[in-house]
Amino acid sequence: MTRFSSPDAIRDAFSKAMSLMYQQEVPQYRTLLQLVKEVNARYLQAHPETFADADSAPELNRLAVERHGAIRLGKAQELATMRRLFAVMGMYPVSYYDLSAAGVPVHATAFRPVDARSLQYNPFRVFTSLLRLELIDDDGLKQKVSQILDQRNIFTPRLLELLEIGHAQQGLTAAQADEFVAEALKTFQWHSEAQVDGATYQSLLDQHRLIADVVSFKGPHINHLTPRTLDIDAVQRQMPAYQIVPKESIEGPPPRRVPILLRQTSFKALSEKITFTDNSEGRHTARFGEIEQRGLALTPAGRALYDRLLQQPTAGDKAAGLAANFAAFPDDMHELRRQKLGYFSYRLSTGATLPEQASREQLQSLIDDGTIEARPVVYEDFLPVSAAGIFQSNLGSERGAAGKGHPNQLAFEQALGCAVIDEFSLYQQLEEASLAAIFDRP
């Protein structure tokens, strides 16, 4: 019987190989990893209860390996093949993100693992954007972009063969998996040689910096690879001491006792030397370093409250105004549960025994007496406003003339070849599975 590598193992190998590649391509990323490692160690020393129980080893491993990458694709065929590539690694498209409202001419999804065991093994995610040609308001340039993208293939012939082999035999052997990782990595590597001449690059840049980044190169180089920190405010403060220039402010909710959703910051994008097809030379700015801190996944009610508070006007200092607005968002674990603003997983406390007639209706009393523990479900996804803020802070001040669009999830899913998964349904399943493991006894 043929033995196949598990998607989790392939994803873990690919994530680590990509991290090594990016450290070589962007030395500041290596420095950023060291900073995050030191901040996390100090945080855990000051807050030993963070991962204090018998299951701390998987949590610590997850923290060490956790990364999210981001790529920008140019055409539907690239997105459809990328979906197949990520499926080999047990990563599926979750949620639809429209960034056009912020003047960024893309829409996106995030490929990631979806079940609890795979997320614990390695929660590697790739935020994957697709260029929206209809938002280029110069018809001549739009046609030229389409012609350029039609002529490129971002995947190696061998990778495409391995995708067919994996589909036919429902898996990859260890040797095939190793080859798959090596071939897939080539899609994401940096190319300093552009596939357009200098004049074309400038016309793309004048339209929008992101369009120039998507169209001008042989492939969708990884433009950031993000480690997870337990204290993003400390990382933000300490970056200058490591000769890293941070963006002006952290994206997402303000600091809280109970972190929610996602907070992100980054260092400014690098200006990198490129050579055009006419042998002229220039500089390209796209790749940067990002850091994230993840908190509680919010229910639809919690997310609606978050979005409303985020959109409220702030007076005076933006950070202080945001903090004032968010005073209306409960910052207590019990209250977040009581108001059903966040998702939680449940389990029997160490050494505890569930009473014979216990039912779900008694959940709160069982938590109160210590029989059951409630733990926040980690937010695994992204925030479109924050993503757009990160993009814009690294695209420079000249944002270009790309038109603002509107959400078009149907068109995105047609390009993808399937529907995206609703993130709320995944969090609800995780919560429900934890309750079923306790109460739905045979």
Q: At residue 329, does pLDDT exceed 50?
A: yes
**Mean pLDDT, residues 276-286:** 87
Beta bridge partners of 105: none
Task: Write down the mean pLDDT value for the chain.
Answer: 88
Residue 85's nearest CA partner among 172, 23, 145 is 172
- 288 touches 270 (CB < 8 A): yes
**Mean pLDDT, residues 7-29:** 92
Determine the Cα–Cα distance for residues 14 and 89; give it in Å rounded to an integer: 8
* DSSP code, position 296: B
Residue 269's nearest CA partner among 28, 8, 104, 93 is 28
The better pLDDT of the pair 322, 317 is held by: 322
3-state secondary structure 184-204: HHHHHCCCCECCCCHHHHHHH
- 221 touches 287 (CB < 8 A): yes
Q: At residue 369, does pLDDT exceed 90?
A: no
Tokens of 283: 């500089």
- 329 touches 306 (CB < 8 A): yes
What is the C-alpha radius of gyration for the chain, rounded to an integer number of angstroms? 23
For 25, list phi and psi in degrees, rounded to 5. Answer: -75, -35
pTM, two decimal places: 0.90
Helix (H, G, I), strand (E, B) or coil at 275: strand
Percent of the chain at pLDDT > 90 equals 51
* DSSP code, position 342: B
Token pair 């129980």: residue: 53
| Residue 168 CB neighbour total at 10 angstroms | 8
The better pLDDT of the pair 357, 165 is held by: 165
Q: What is the pLDDT of residue 246?
A: 84
Model confidence pLDDT, tens digit, residues 98-142: 988 777 888 999 999 999 899 989 999 999 999 998 888 888 888
Tokens of 167: 């589909």
Percent of the chain at pLDDT > 70 equals 93
